[in-house]
Every structure is written in structure tokens, then in C-alpha cells.
Amino acid sequence: MEQKLSRNPLAFIVVLASFAWNIALLVGVVLNAGFAHTRAAGGQYTDFPSGIRVLYVFQLALVIYQVWIFKLIFHTVLVKPAWLPKLFFVIGIVGTLLNALSKSSNERINVIPALIITWAFWYYGIKKGK
């Protein structure tokens, strides 16, 4: 069964851009790229430890899965399990708070895409999904 949502292409593009920023940052950490040093893991590293890089590989896989689930939700395909958008909404709240509490001002900027993605899962996955 399909859900009926009002689709806004601009919202879709903004959410995908937010996901793209997250993916670029996660790949930057995994590859130990210089631009990511002040924007991830508290902004405290000039060289990311192996453990953090491995953790970010798992985060990268999660974000790619979130992109796929968001695309399904946005295009009115029913997602199973039905609680998945709620889980991603909660994960988004946690991620937003962690970024907001960072000592790095560059990492605090990540609050913007995190809020956009969190809003998208709430609006399209929870609110409109009812």
C-alpha cells in the first residue's frame, strides 16, 4: 500500500544535499582527509585513529541506508518495518545534539544538515506517514 504525500522537489534536493555533506564528511574521516579534521570527532584530531575511522565506516553505511529509506518515503513507498523512520528521527536528534555540543565550531556547523535530515524523517516518515 502506498502513502499519499505532497512532494516538494526543493525539499528533496535540500535533504539530499544534507546527506551528501554527511557522506562527504564521513568519507573524509575514513580517508583521513585534512578537511575533516576540524569537522568530525570533536575537531580534536590532526590524524584520525584507526578506531574512529572504522566507526565512521559503519556510520557511512548507516547514512547510505538512511538515504535509501528517505528516498522510498519521499516517493510514497511504504517502508517496512514501519518504525524505521522513527528510529532515524531519534538518531537524528542524538546526532544534532552531539554536533551542537562539540568544542569545534566547524563541527557545530554540522547541526544544519543534521537538523534538515531529522526534520525530513519526522515530516515525511512520521507526520505524513500517519
pTM of the model: 0.89
What pLDDT does residue 130 have?
A: 58
8 pLDDT band (50/70/90 cuts)? confident
Alpha-carbon distance 36 to 86, whole Å?
A: 29
φ, ψ of residue 67 to 5 degrees: the values are -60, -45
How far apart CA 7 and CA 100 sit, in angstroms, is 30
47-81 pLDDT, tens per residue? Answer: 999 999 999 999 999 999 999 999 999 988 888 89
Give the model confidence (pLDDT) of 88-101 as tens digits.
Answer: 999 999 999 999 99
Average pLDDT over residues 98-111: 93
